Amino acid sequence: MRIYALAVYLFLYLPIGIIALFSFSAGRSASQMQGFSLQWYGKALGNPFVVDALKTSASVAFTSAVLASVFGTMAALALTGMRGRLRVLFDGMIYVAVMIPGIVIGIATLIALVTVFGAVNPWLEPLTGWKLSMGFGSLVGAHVLFTMSLVIILVRARIEGMDRALIEASSDLGAGPIATFRQVTLPMLAPAIFAGFLLSFTFSFDDFIIAFFVAGPQTTLPIYIFSSIRRGVTPEINAIGTMVMAASLAVLIVAQLTLRRGKPDAH
């Protein structure tokens, strides 16, 4: 079993390690190590198209993560008090949103947006002079739809592990629902909400499939990388991929540590 596990990990991570290694090549070949150099990292960070794509991805990811954290927390709190078949239905919908392939979400979101734009724009444009179109808003909306499920799952798991006696004690001491939520519930949920924010940011920042369908004129970093490799892979692309991988890994580690530290102590 150890040999099998080692083979699986090598199959998954060896190609990533090779890309990271070749990103330090001093030559122009993306598949040969010709000396050691950091020049491709400098060229990638000095490329205005890369910087613009990075800013777009970061803006979309941050906005999506904030909205997903807010709406996901609200939904998790609402679902906690729900019972019976209705809760089973909503639970199924949440997990389906996580498991469904990204290409299905991308196509479905594209069709839904095109349909809405076609129905609204004939009325909106004559009145306001502008119309709805694909772009930043469609990217954020599509990413919020599938990252919100991650937040709901994390926050609900945290809610189920909370000590209800603290909430009841707050009510017995005269605190209202809003004060109880602000002073007791929210601090206890904060680690899960923050972890959900980080995961939502990572998933949105790294997404290519859904963004490819709904980005419109916007160019995110994954879309830029895809467009660039169609002309050939260079060490610059390896450098960009390595930096994105390192940043994503760092965010995931922080999210995992946040969840672990936020777990209630066993009594």
Distance of CA 110 to the CA centre of its chain: 19
What pLDDT sits at residue 263?
60
The predicted pLDDT at position 151 comes to 92
pLDDT for residue 140 = 93
Cβ neighbors of 146 (< 8 A, separation 6 or more) are 97, 98, 102, 105, 203, 210
Cα separation, 78 vs 249, in Å, equals: 32
* Coil/strand/helix, residue 85: helix
Q: What is the CA radius of gyration of the chain?
A: 22
Mind listing the pLDDT tens digit of every residue in the chain (267 residues)? 788 888 888 888 888 888 888 888 877 776 677 778 888 888 888 889 989 999 999 999 999 999 999 999 988 888 877 777 877 888 888 888 888 888 888 899 999 999 999 888 888 888 888 888 898 999 999 999 889 998 998 888 888 777 667 766 776 666 766 777 777 778 888 888 998 998 899 999 989 999 999 988 899 999 998 888 877 777 888 888 888 888 888 888 888 787 776 565 544
Q: What is the predicted pLDDT for the residue at 59?
A: 94
